[in-house]
């Protein structure tokens, strides 16, 4: 072990600035940590165009349910589609470019940073969803609230967990792109899959085919109540989605973040 001696000359010079107990310094006058909430408000996780899109879809949704509160399902579908992209904010790519260095070395635990990252990624879509739901409640005088039915909530939770987790190691928006491409592939390329999904959509499918339907097309849950017969399949999808979300958090907490040049 090599210990660096304090040169007497340097020590004298430093003493002239006043003696300093570093332990006292770090415990009593410690520099305030960088707050993840504040950091991610400055370093926005969302593209401004995506936020604008969500705002427009939200306003259109509120107008739609105001004109006819039975149309709530059609108002919520585009919100869920944009939420797929909004929560796909990505972590590893900006982190490896060093964009989060100040935060990651700034005094907060990785777990707190990651949970804040997820919460803020989800927030805009959830806010628009709630706004449309509240508008629906108000217009229908408390009778209809499709946004807050169990199926709708499950769809929003599933998209908010899975798309975010998928994008953690990928560039921004990747989770949404992967999900949409998978949906298109499922209905256009594999006829066996398509038939199984159609059967599941009619309510004839097995537990697995129903679960696949809800996973690939969470839109099918919007405006529905989860019936007892669907509880196992919806539960399976939600548990799988939340497991993926937890795995993504665990991965970030432990991940090494070497520096990579931006391309």
Partner 1 sequence: MDPALVVRELAARYGRHDVFHDVSFELRSGQALGVVGPNGAGKTTLLRLLVGLVSPARGEIRLDGAPPREAVTCEPVGYFGGESTLPARVQAARWGSLASGDPVTTECRHLRTLSRGTRQLLGLRTIFGRRHLRLLVLDEPWEGLDPDAARWLSTAIEAKRDRGATIVVSSHRLYDLAGLCDAYLFLAHHRATLLYAHEISPTGIVTAADLTEVFDRLHQQKNHLTVVVASSAPPFPGCERR
Give just the sign of the alpha carbon dihedral 226, 231, 236, 242. Answer: positive
> Is 14 or 194 the residue whose CB approaches partner 1 more closely?
14
Side-chain-side CA neighbours of 216 within 13 Å: the count stands at 20
CA 172/CA 190 separation, integer angstroms: 28
- Considering the complex, what minimum distance in angstroms separates the CB of residue 171 from partner 1? 14
- Considering the complex, what minimum distance in angstroms separates the CB of residue 48 from partner 1? 9
CA 244/CA 126 separation, integer angstroms: 20
Judge residue 189's burial from the number of C-beta atoms within 10 Å of its C-beta, 0-12 exposed, 13-18 middle, 19 or more buried. Answer: exposed
Judge residue 201's burial from the number of C-beta atoms within 10 Å of its C-beta, 0-12 exposed, 13-18 middle, 19 or more buried. Answer: middle
> Is 126 or 253 the residue whose CB approaches partner 1 more closely?
253
Question: The tokens of 182 are what?
Answer: 């998978």
> Is 7 or 227 the residue whose CB approaches partner 1 more closely?
7
> Is 98 or 235 the residue whose CB approaches partner 1 more closely?
98
> Is 104 or 131 the residue whose CB approaches partner 1 more closely?
104
- Considering the complex, what minimum distance in angstroms separates the CB of residue 4 from partner 1? 4
- Considering the complex, what minimum distance in angstroms separates the CB of residue 257 from partner 1? 5
Closest CA to 156 of 179, 136, 126, 123: 126
CA 184/CA 194 separation, integer angstroms: 11
- Considering the complex, what minimum distance in angstroms separates the CB of residue 20 from partner 1? 4
CA 245/CA 251 separation, integer angstroms: 10
Running DSSP on this structure, what letter comes out for residue 191? H
- Considering the complex, what minimum distance in angstroms separates the CB of residue 99 from partner 1? 4
H-type helices in 109-148, by residue range? Answer: 110-139
Q: Which residues bind partner 1 (CB under 8 A)?
A: 1-7, 9-10, 13-14, 17, 20-23, 25-26, 29-34, 38-39, 42-44, 94, 97-99, 101-102, 104-110, 256-259, 261-262
> Is 105 or 191 the residue whose CB approaches partner 1 more closely?
105
- Considering the complex, what minimum distance in angstroms separates the CB of residue 24 from partner 1? 9
> Is 92 or 152 the residue whose CB approaches partner 1 more closely?
92
């Amino acid at each position: 072990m090599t210990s660096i001696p304090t040169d007497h000359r340097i020590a004298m010079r430093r003493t002239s600035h006043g003696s300093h107990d570093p332990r006292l310094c770090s415990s009593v006058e410690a520099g305030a940590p960088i707050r993840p909430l504040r950091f991610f408000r400055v370093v926005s996780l969302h593209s401004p165009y995506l936020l604008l899109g969500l705002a427009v879809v939200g306003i259109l949704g509120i107008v739609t349910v105001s004109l006819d509160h039975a149309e709530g399902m059609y108002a919520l579908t585009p919100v869920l589609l944009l939420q797929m992209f909004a929560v796909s904010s990505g972590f590893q790519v900006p982190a490896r470019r060093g964009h989060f260095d100040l935060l990651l070395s700034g005094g907060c635990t990785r777990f707190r940073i990651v949970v804040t990252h997820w919460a803020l990624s989800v927030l805009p879509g959830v806010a628009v969803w709630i706004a449309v739901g509240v508008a629906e409640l108000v217009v229908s005088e408390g009778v209809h609230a499709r946004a807050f039915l169990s199926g709708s909530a499950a769809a929003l939770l599933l998209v908010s967990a899975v798309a975010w987790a998928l994008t953690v190691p990928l560039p921004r928006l990747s989770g949404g792109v992967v999900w949409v491409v998978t949906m298109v592939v499922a209905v256009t390329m594999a006829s066996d899959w398509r038939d199984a999904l159609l059967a599941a959509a009619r309510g004839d499918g097995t537990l697995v085919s129903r679960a696949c339907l809800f996973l690939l097309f969470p839109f099918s849950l919007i405006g529905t109540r989860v019936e007892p017969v669907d509880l196992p399949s919806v539960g399976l999808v939600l548990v799988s989605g939340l497991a993926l979300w937890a795995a993504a958090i665990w991965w970030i907490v432990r991940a090494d973040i070497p520096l990579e040049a931006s391309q």
